């Protein structure tokens, strides 16, 4: 009997704001399509779902989730999976077995389930500026705080109509900030990023600084960890999406994401 899983998808249902987080359940929905001997499967099948910290090998994260009777109709199925506290912004992979048979390679858990770490005490970051400032130093808007770290964003436009969005961390109480980052950028535009290790005593550390040239737009995904130079135990992790638009009639900047203390 040959079993194959040919279509994978992950969806996270976070339907309320953080004010309602105490009432939420840390679950995401996994949907797949199961083939049995090359044909869409029908019936009920025992399945297990296990998280790992690597695409192969590595260590298990959280507990194994066992679903003894998953209903499959025309090959399609969906299950709700919960791994309390597992999603902290770090990449994880999901391994699936059906009838005790491990199916293919592990599936990388993408952005939606990773966003669950907002349920574990993260603060939301939300910035939408439709009128970029033409000032040489555009004003900063405070987005949120995490311990000694304050997160700011700005949106500026220069004389050639290029639009720049900036996200920065400000360290208070004489904390220094070191930054480690991992960015991915799509679309047209240029990106300026601070060095991988940057000390900025009691001041601003730029986390990302993409610019969209006239007529273009840039989108950037960034995961950054900031920590105090004097006390490495004081840290914050940011998961960010930033977009800046320099197209005619739609200039502006957007920043969305979360910041969590103690990562």
pLDDT by residue (tens digit) across 94-106?
A: 999 998 898 878 8
| Separation CA 173–CA 229 (nearest Å) | 12
Q: Does the domain made of 123-261 have the CATH classification 2.60.40?
A: yes
The answer to whether the beta carbons of residues 111 and 11 sit under 8 Å apart is no
More confident position, 225 or 42: 42
205 pLDDT tier (thresholds 50, 70, 90): confident
pLDDT averaged over the chain? 76
Among 58-62, 161-165, 187-191, 259-263, the least confident range: 187-191
Cα 148–chain centre separation: 22
More confident position, 32 or 246: 246
124 pLDDT tier (thresholds 50, 70, 90): confident
Structure tokens at 181: 């980052």
Structure tokens at 243: 């977009």
On the question of pLDDT at 154 being above 70, the answer is yes
| Separation CA 49–CA 38 (nearest Å) | 22
Calculate mean pLDDT across residues 10-30. 43
Domain 3-110 shares a fold with domain 123-261: yes
pLDDT value at residue 90: 72
**CATH, domain 3-110, list 3.40.50, 1.10.1740, 2.60.40, 3.30.70:** 2.60.40
Listed by start position, the domains of the chain span 3-110, 123-261
Calculate mean pLDDT across residues 145-164. 89
Structure tokens at 203: 């001041």
On the question of pLDDT at 120 being above 60, the answer is no
On the question of pLDDT at 114 being above 90, the answer is no
pLDDT value at residue 21: 36
C-alpha pair distances (Å), 159 with each of 132, 145, 156, 187, 246: 12, 33, 10, 22, 12
pLDDT value at residue 242: 87
Structure tokens at 229: 């130079």
Among 49-53, 158-162, 199-203, the least confident range: 199-203
């Amino acid at each position: 009997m040959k079993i194959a899983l040919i279509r994978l998808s992950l969806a996270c249902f976070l339907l309320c704001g953080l004010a309602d987080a105490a009432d939420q359940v840390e679950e995401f929905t996994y949907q797949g399509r199961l083939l049995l001997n090359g044909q869409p499967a029908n019936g009920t099948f025992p399945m297990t779902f296990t998280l790992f910290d690597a695409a192969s090998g590595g260590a298990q994260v959280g507990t194994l989730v066992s679903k003894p009777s998953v209903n499959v109709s025309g090959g399609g199925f969906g299950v709700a999976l919960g791994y309390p506290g597992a999603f902290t912004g770090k990449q994880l992979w999901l391994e699936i077995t059906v009838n005790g048979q491990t199916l293919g390679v592990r599936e990388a858990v993408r952005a939606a389930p990773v966003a669950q770490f907002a349920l574990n005490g993260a603060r939301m970051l939300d910035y939408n500026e439709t009128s970029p400032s033409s000032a040489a130093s555009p004003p900063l808007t405070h987005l949120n705080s995490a311990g000694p770290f304050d997160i700011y964003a700005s949106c500026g436009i220069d004389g050639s109509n290029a639009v720049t969005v900036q996200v920065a961390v400000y360290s208070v109480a004489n904390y220094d900030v070191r930054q480690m980052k991992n960015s991915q950028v799509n679309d047209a535009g240029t990106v300026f990023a601070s060095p991988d290790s940057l000390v900025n005593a009691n001041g601003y550390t730029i986390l990302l600084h993409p610019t969209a040239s006239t007529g273009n737009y840039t989108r950037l995904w960034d995961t950054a960890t900031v920590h105090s130079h004097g006390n490495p135990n004081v840290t914050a992790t940011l998961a960010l999406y930033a977009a800046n638009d320099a197209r005619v009639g739609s200039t502006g900047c957007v920043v969305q994401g979360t910041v969590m203390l103690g990562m």
